Amino acid sequence: MTPQMSSNAPGSAEGGASAGSPWGDLGRPPLNGAALRRALLVPDGLWSDLEVVARTGSTNTDLVDRVRSGPVEEGTVLVAEEQTSGRGRLDRHWVAPPRSGLFLSFVLRPGPDVPQRAWSWLPLLVGVATATALARTAGVDTMLKWPNDLLAEVDGEERKIGGILAERTGDAAHHAVVVGIGINVSLGAGELPVPEAGSLLLAGAQGTDRDPLLRAVLRSVERWYRDWRAADGDAAACGLQETYAAGCATLGRSVRALLPGGREVVGEAVAVDGDGQLVLATGSGVTQPVGAGDIVHLRPGG
């Protein structure tokens, strides 16, 4: 999924039709950067800058490099029509045809009032915000797989339609988090990178116009982020912990947790604790919190 510009020197995605124009595929028109800025860059709003580029390696990588190179204002958003080296969690890659999805990253600076321990909630917060925005705008019942995969039902099966990557960066005095979102919007069955993937289109979305989807996602992120910051990062106090648990498809299921160092734990996912960790009840009757790793949903008897 994910994100200074790559060596491909991406050009603007906001110009008129020309040779190699993005308007060559009218079923997947380009994003309207000017209209998005008018809608989202408002006084006293979170979003301070929004750029749409035609092509880059990874929007997360680009913004992390910018933050490391100099001051970058909170609320800076970078959107790519195509990513050639998009990244997900655990160094996985995110590949999709141009203009077939939403590929964006943004800079957040929670500040000193939010303990850094609470920053682990940011990818989960963005997951909640994105899932609720997609459900409202696209009419697709979107679920969350811990910690931050977006799932939807396609042909009676849960499929991954998106994911979130959060990376801490900056110096000791100016910590920041770069959060990337990747969402498959209009991919058809023959364009899916793996059988387990899906898209909003295949999940029966009532529309695949990316402009209103992007506006809805960023407005939802802003709403949840402001509430979380106002609660000094307390996920329970702002309703985030409860809302995440209500939309988490992992809870109540048997899972296999593949942990750093090659270890694994099998158990029932019973809760998400105050630090955003997944709590597993194992066969030995003990509970174990999992803060990092890969979670596999097991079928009954699996």
- Domain residue spans in the chain? 22-246, 254-297
What is the pTM assigned to this prediction?
A: 0.89
**Residues of the chain above pLDDT 90, percent:** 77
Dihedral sign from CA coordinates of 24, 26, 28, 30 = positive
* Cβ atoms within 10 Å, residue 101: 30
Same fold yes or no, 22-246 and 254-297: no
Q: d(Cα 237, Cα 186) in Å, to the nearest integer?
A: 37
CB 76 within 8 A of CB 17: no
Backbone dihedral angles phi then psi of residue 140, each to the nearest 5 degrees: -110, 125
Strand partners, 50: 77
DSSP annotation of 244: H
Residue 20's pLDDT is: 46
**Axis-axis angle for helices 33-40, 210-230 (nearest 10):** 30
Residue 293's pLDDT band (boundaries 50, 70, 90)?
confident
Q: 186 is written with which tokens?
A: 């209009």
pLDDT tens across 257-285, in order?
999 888 999 999 999 999 999 999 998 77
Domain 254-297 sits in CATH at 2.30.30.100
CA atoms within 13 A on the CB side of 196: 7
C-alpha distance across the termini of the chain, in Å: 29
CB-neighbour burial class of residue 21 (10 A; exposed 0-12, middle 13-18, buried 19+): exposed
| Alpha-helical segments (H) within the chain | 33-40, 59-69, 122-138, 210-230, 240-246
CB 106 within 8 A of CB 52: no
Q: Which CATH superfamily is domain 22-246 in?
A: Bira Bifunctional Protein; Domain 2 (3.30.930.10)
Residue range 186-194: mean pLDDT, rounded: 93
Residue 302's pLDDT is: 54
CB 252 within 8 A of CB 298: no
